[in-house]
Amino acid sequence: RHNRAVGGDDNTAGTFVNAGIGGGLANNGSNPFAATGGSTIILVNSNVANNQAVGGIGADGLGGGVANVLGGVVHVSASTLTHNRAQGGDGGDGLGGGIYNGVASTHPSNFNAPTVLTVEGSVITHNRAQGSAAGAGTATGDGLGGGLWNGGTAVVRDSEMSYNFALGGDGADGSGGGDGFGGGAYNAAAGSLQFEGCTATKNHANGGEGDAGDGEGIGGGVYNLGDFESDTLTQILGNHASTSHD
């Protein structure tokens, strides 16, 4: 609880330059000291709460509660992720207020290994993905995936996703607001996301305000660019988006 992962400001190299990764917990599947990478974390009966991942200047905040990257494997069961925040640094985006599950690994130790997340019998609630406000010389940031940002392979089963927020940053004088996409979940183009027996309700996706126009808020429950499937027991209802519906 009450942990912060804060990105740097002056780094120029690396996979996640200046990003703040995993406010409560970060799992990295790559291993530069082994021929094959691999890292698995299992969370059972856990409470991941009040953590922050904050990007450095121009960088993203990834996974306010949990971040899983570069071919890692994370299993979450009978747990609660609440009041976590992914906050973009000046000009950066906030991705995955509760959980960030990244794309397949680009590291040589496990190149193209899928980044895998399973969530079962858990609650993801009151988390926030917040894009940065525009400042002097910086752009406005987007908020993507208030509860979950997925670019890998994710299955969410018998779980609740509620009261999460994806919020675009506010623009400065003469600039537009950032976008808020996927109040409950954001599934990127490379992502495969399945909901089985889940409820996604009362989540919000709101664009930021700006002199040159407000940002878009789309997908209060789920914003999908990839492969998304839900079964007949899943309910996605009662969500809000500032420029669209569920």
Pairing, β 199-201 against β 235-237:
parallel
pTM over 0.85: yes
The band of 18, judged by pLDDT with boundaries at 50, 70 and 90, is confident
Q: Distance between CA 206 and CA 193 in Å, rounded?
A: 22
* Burial group, residue 184, by CB count within 10 angstroms (0-12, 13-18, 19+): buried
Give pLDDT, residue 57.
86
The band of 37, judged by pLDDT with boundaries at 50, 70 and 90, is low
Per the model's pLDDT, the better-predicted residue between 138 and 61 turns out to be 61
Span 215-224, pLDDT tens digits: 999 999 999 9
One-letter amino acid for residue 157 of the chain: R
Give pLDDT, residue 175.
82
Q: Distance between CA 105 and CA 22 in Å, rounded?
A: 17
Span 82-108, pLDDT tens digits: 999 999 998 899 999 999 999 999 998
Residue 213 in this model has a pLDDT that exceeds 90? no
Mean pLDDT value across residues 35-39: 66
Contact assessment for residue 131 and residue 149, using Cβ atoms and an 8 Å cutoff: no
Terminus-to-terminus CA distance in the chain, angstroms?
31
Mention every residue, 6+ apart, whose C-beta is less than 8 A from residue 244: 205, 216, 217, 218, 219, 220
The band of 245, judged by pLDDT with boundaries at 50, 70 and 90, is low
Q: What is the average pLDDT value for the chain, to the nearest integer?
A: 92
Contact assessment for residue 157 and residue 197, using Cβ atoms and an 8 Å cutoff: yes
Residue 35 in this model has a pLDDT that exceeds 60? no
Give pLDDT, residue 20.
95
Give pLDDT, residue 48.
98
Per the model's pLDDT, the better-predicted residue between 173 and 112 turns out to be 112
Residue 12 in this model has a pLDDT that exceeds 60? no
The band of 120, judged by pLDDT with boundaries at 50, 70 and 90, is very high
Give pLDDT, residue 4.
87
Mention every residue, 6+ apart, whose C-beta is less than 8 A from residue 193: 150, 154, 155, 156, 185, 187, 222, 224, 226, 227, 228, 229
Pairing, β 99-101 against β 66-69:
parallel
